[in-house]
Chains A and B, each alone.
Chain A
Amino acid sequence: MSHSFNLPPLAIEEYRLANGLRVVLNLDVRVPVISVAVYYNVGSRNEREGRTGFAHLFEHMMFQGSENVPKAGHFQYIMKAGGTMNGTTSSERTNYYETLPASQLPLALWLESDRMRSLAVTQENLDNQREAVKEEKRLRYDNQPYGQIFDLINEMIYKNFANSHSTIGSMDHLDDATVEDVQEFFRIYYAPNNAVLVISGVFEAMTVRELVETYFGDIASQPLPAELDVSEPPEVAANYKEWEDKLAPFPAFLIGWKIPPRRTPEFNALYLAGKVLYEGDSSRLYQKLVKGEESVIQLFGFTDERRGPSSIFVGAIPKPEEDLSAIREIIMEEIHDLSVHGPTTAEMEKIENQLVNDTVRMRQGSLSRAQQIAEFTLYDGDPSLVNRELDELLAVKADQVRLAAAHYLNTDNRALLDVVPAGKG
C-alpha cells in the first residue's frame, strides 16, 4: 500500500550563521503555534571518568538564569506567554525546546540566545540544582522497583566508558563538581557552532531570519571539542549479572544486545525485527508469552538509537512461580526462528503500515517535527532526512531482517541481567 501513498514532504529550509550555528526552518501553517528546539552536541557520551552526570546537571543549570533572564525566569516567561517547555539529556545530546503561540517566537529566540550567550554559572545555582538532580535520581531510579536496570545493563553491554556510564551519573561526581568545571563545560559545549536551532510552525520567512540573526548572530563561536571515540569491540562487556532490587516485588530479567549505529541498514533491519518480536498485541513474543504460555505479567522491548554502537533490549516480568530460564529459551527460540525464516509477508505488511502511520502522526505537532529535524541535522548533517527516513525503513527487505537477526540477535554475545527481589529491609 505504501507505494500508492503519497505523503507531501515537510518544507525544509536550512542555513548557517557566520558563527557556525545551524538553523533549520520548517514552515507549517496548520495551527498558529511555533516550536523552537535547540540541540547541543553534548550528552553523557562526552563525560570523562570522575565527572559523570555533568551533561544532565548542566541541563538543570540552563534554567537558572543568564545575563538578562533571572533565575527560573525561563519557566516564567514561557508559561506566562502560554507556552510549554523542557529540556532533556541523553547519551547523544542535550536538548531544550518550547512551544508557544506563533506570535511569541521572538520571546523563545531571546530566551534561548541569552542562555547560549551568557549563562549564570554561580555557586548558589550549582548547589541548588545538584540537590534537585539528586532528588530526581532518587525519584526515578533509587526509589522505583526496577529503576536501575537500564543503567546496569548498559554497563554490561558497552566496554567504552563513553557509552557505558549512566546519564544520571554518580552523586559523588556531582558533589565534586566546581563552578569552574561547569563554566568550562559551558564554554566547550554550549557554543553556537556546536548547536542546531530548529523552528517549526507558523512564521514569516523574512522576519524569522532577521530575528535569528539579531539574537544569535553575535554569539562567539568556540574551538570545537575534540573528536570523540565511541568505538566498541563487538563483544559485550559482561554476559551475566544478578541484581538485588530491594523494591522489586517479582523477579525480572532484561536481555541486551550490542548492535550497529542508528540509520545503518543493519540497525534499520533490527528495528524492524524488534517490531516483529515485541511491538503490539499481535507481536510474536506477546502472543507466545503473555497469551500462549501465560507466563509473563509484562513484556517489553526497544532499541536505544545512538550515533555509535547502539543496543536492543527485550525484558520481562514473569509471574512469580514461573521458570525464568524457560521464558528466556522461548525468546531465543523466536529469535532463532526469525533468523532462519525471516518475517512473514503479513508481518512485513503490518510493519509497513505502522511505519507510515507513525510518520504521519509524528507530523501533526510542531514540537515533534522540530525534534526529529534537529536530530537529523545534528547527527547526520541533513535535515531533509526527515522526509526520507520512512523510505529508508520501507526499503528494508524481509531477508535483511532475517540476516540481521541471525547475526546480531541469535548469538550468545548478549548481556543478561537477572533482577532478584531482595525483600524488605
Chain B
Amino acid sequence: MTSDLRKTAPPPLAPVEFDIPQPHHETLANGLRVVIFEDERLPLVSLRLAFYTGDINDPDESVGIGSAIASMLTEGTEKYTSFQLAEKIERLGAGLSSSASDDFTVVSASCLSLYSSEVLTLLAEVVLRPTFPAEELDLYKRNTVEHLKFQRSQPGFLAGEQAARLIFGIHPYSRVSPKAADIEKLDRQSLIRRHAETFVPNDAVLVAIGDIRRDEFLAELRDYFGEWQTGAKQKSEFRGLPARNSRSLTVVDRPGSAQSNIVLANLSIERDHPDYFPLIVMNQVLGAGASSRVFMNLREEKGYTYGAYTRLDSKRLAGSFEATAEVRTAVTGDSLKEFFYELNRIRETKVGDEELRDAKEFLTGVFPLRAETQEGLTNLVMNQHLYSLPENYLQTYRENINKITAEDVQRVANVHVRPDETAIVLVGDAEQVLPQVRDYADTLEVFDTEGKQQDESKYAATSANELADAAGKWELKIIFQGQNLPVSLTLKQDGAAISGELDTMLGKGTIADGTINGNKISATARAEMQGQSVEFVIAGKLENDAMSGTITTPMVPNPLPFTGNRDCTAQKSAA
C-alpha cells in the first residue's frame, strides 16, 4: 500500500451489534433469588452464590469470622472430610471455592456441563452443611496467623493498610486484615452460630451461566436448596466515616527498600452514588489506564516508575480514591510533585474534547470484551445484583457513559479529588525518603513494618535543600585484613540523586541510582569482575571534603570500613 494511506488510523468496519443476553429471573419459595443465562456456546457451566454479608459485618468480638467461615466451607461437611471434598471436586476437573470481601461472601463453582449436577450437589453440601471440624479450624488459624506475618513483608500490603486506616478511621472498612489475636480467638461454636445467622437464602443471589436447561436446573435447585430455611437479613449499621480537612504524611519505614510505594488516598463514593458515571470517566482521563495522564507523565515522560495509576474503589457504603505508583527512592519527592500537579490540573482545567471522547470510547468499547467469557459475564451480572443497581444497568451502561460532559468531569473532580485532604502514605526507606517529602504535609507519622508507631524525631528533619555536596572525585582507603586498599569514587550529583563510578584494583563499577540525604550518601556500584556481576553497597557520611563509612560486597562476609578525602584538584573536571 502507498505510504499516504498508512499516515492515518483506518476507520472501523461496520459495527457488529452486541446485546447483553437477557437472563431469566426466579425467586425460590425460601427467598433465594436466581439468575439464569442459558448459554450453549461451550459445554461449560459457571455458578456463583453470593451473600450480602462481608468482613465488615463481623461482630467486634469476632473479627475475621466471615473470612474464616468462607475458607472453612470446603474443609469438612456432614457427608465429607476436607480431603474427600477436594478429591471429589478435582476428580471432576471442576473448581469450587469461597471467599469473603468487605461487603459480600461469594461461593463459586465451575465445571464441564457434563458434571453440573454433581457440582451443584457439592455446592449445596458446602453451603448448607459445613461442620467446621476443630482440627481443620486449628490449622486454618495457624496458617492464617503465619500469613498475616508474611504479608507484612510486602510493601503493597503495608501501604494499603495505612491508607485504609487513614481514610476510613473507625469504620470497619479500615480493617484490611484481622490481627493475629482476632484469629486466635475464633472458635468452632461461634463459626457454626455465625454461619447459621448469615447464610440465609433470602439474603443471597445465585447466578448460573452456561450450557444448562433452565427448567432442569431450577428443578435441581429446588431439590438441593428447597429445605434451606429463611432467616433474618443482616443489618449494616456502622460507625461513621471520619472527616478529613488537611493533608497528612505517613511513612512506613522499610529499610533497604529498592523503591518507595506511594499511595495518595481520599475517601470517595459508594457504588450506587449518582456521581459514579462521571467519576469513572474522570478517573479514566486522570489515571485508570496506560494512556491516562498520570501514567503518561510519571512513566512515559519522567521514567520515574513502571506504572502510575489512579483508582476508584467504590464499595457498598463508601469508597476510596487513590493515586499509586512504585518509584525509585531518589525520585519519591519529585513523584509527589507530579501527582499533585495532575490532581490539581483536573480540578482547575476542563478536560479537552478529544481526551473526554477517548475516555468514553474506552469505557463503552471495552464493555462487550468483559462479557466474552462466562466468568466475565458472571462478574457483570453479579455486581449488578450485589450493589443493587437498576434492572437495566447493563443495557444502559454505555448510554450512561456517553452522556457525561467535560463540565460533569470537572465538577466531580472538584467534589471528589481533594489534594488538600489527601492522606499521603509512603512505604520505603524512611531515612532516604523523608528529606524529599517532608514539606508535602503539616503532620508526619512514622511506622515500622510491624505497624508500630515510631518517634518521628528519630528521623532527622533535614529537608531537601540541605543536602551535602558529594560531587567530585574521592580517594578512599578500605581497611581489609589490616591492609589499606585504595578505591576511588567519582560522583555526580543531581538534587538527591547520585551517579558515578567506583574504581578498585579489581575493576570498575557503575553507580546509577545512589541517593544523598542530609550528609549521608548511599549508593550501589555494580561491577563486572571475572565475568560476574558484583555489587558494592556504599554507605557513607560526608563532612566537607572528608567521607567515611562502609562498603559491603558479597565477596567478603563483613562490611568494610573506609575513610578518605575529596581530590579537590580533580573535582572540576569530574563534576
Contacts and interface: CB of A to CB of B under 8 A. Distances in A.
Interface of A: 1, 5, 7, 30-33, 67-68, 71-72, 75-77, 79-84, 99-107, 110-111, 113-114, 127-136, 138-140, 142-145, 170-172, 175, 202, 207, 214-215, 217-218, 246-250, 280-282, 287, 290-291, 294, 297, 317, 319-320, 346, 349-350, 352-358, 360-361, 363-366, 424-425
B9, B259, B303 pick with most chain A CB within 10 angstroms: B9
B91 A143 contact: no
B83 A291 contact: yes
Contact of A33 (B1, B257, B289, B369): B369
A3 to B, nearest CB: 13
A280 B364 CA distance: 37
B423 to A, nearest CB: 22
Given A80-B358, A132-B303, A360-B43, A104 B12 contact: yes
Contact of B44 (A101, A132, A135, A364): A364
A110 B289 contact: no
Contacts of A132: 299, 303, 305-306
B361 A67 contact: no
Given A100-B365, A360-B43, A143 B303 contact: no
Interface stretch (B150-158, B220-228, B232-240): B150-158
B9 A77 contact: yes
B259 A297 contact: no
A135 B295 CA distance: 13
Contacts of A358: 93
Interface in B277-312: 289-291, 296, 299-301, 303-306
A234 to B, nearest CB: 24
Contacts of B94: 353, 357
Contact of A136 (B152, B306, B358, B510): B306
A106 B1 contact: no
A67 B7 CA distance: 8
B16 A135 contact: no
B259 A138 contact: yes
Given A82-B364, A128-B303, A360 B16 contact: no
Interface in B1-48: 1, 3, 5-18, 41-44
Nearest to A294: B139
A319 B150 CA distance: 10
Contacts, number: 241
Given A144-B154, A215-B1, A360 B112 contact: yes
B245 to A, nearest CB: 34
Given A139-B306, A317-B150, A355-B93, A425 B256 contact: yes
Given A30-B41, A79-B358, A106-B11, A138 B258 contact: yes
Contacts of B328: 134-135, 138
Interface stretch (B55-63, B140-148, B469-477, B564-572): B140-148
A353 B93 contact: yes
Contacts of A33: 368-369, 372
Contacts of B143: 290, 297
Interface residues of B, number: 88
B12 A350 contact: no
Given A68-B8, A114-B6, A425-B256, A82 B366 contact: yes
A332 B526 CA distance: 38
B572 to A, nearest CB: 25
Given A72-B300, A135-B305, A215-B1, A353 B112 contact: yes
B8, B91, B143, B512 pick with most chain A CB within 10 angstroms: B91
Given A100-B369, A365-B372, 16 more contacts: A31-B372, A33-B368, A67-B6, A79-B289, A80-B359, A80-B361, A80-B365, A127-B303, A135-B305, A171-B512, A249-B153, A281-B82, A350-B90, A357-B93, A360-B112, A361-B44
B560 interface: no
14 contacts: A72-B296, A79-B362, A82-B362, A106-B13, A132-B303, A132-B306, A135-B326, A172-B526, A207-B13, A215-B1, A215-B6, A291-B139, A350-B90, A353-B93
Contacts of B259: 135, 138-139, 142-143
Contacts of B44: 360-361, 364
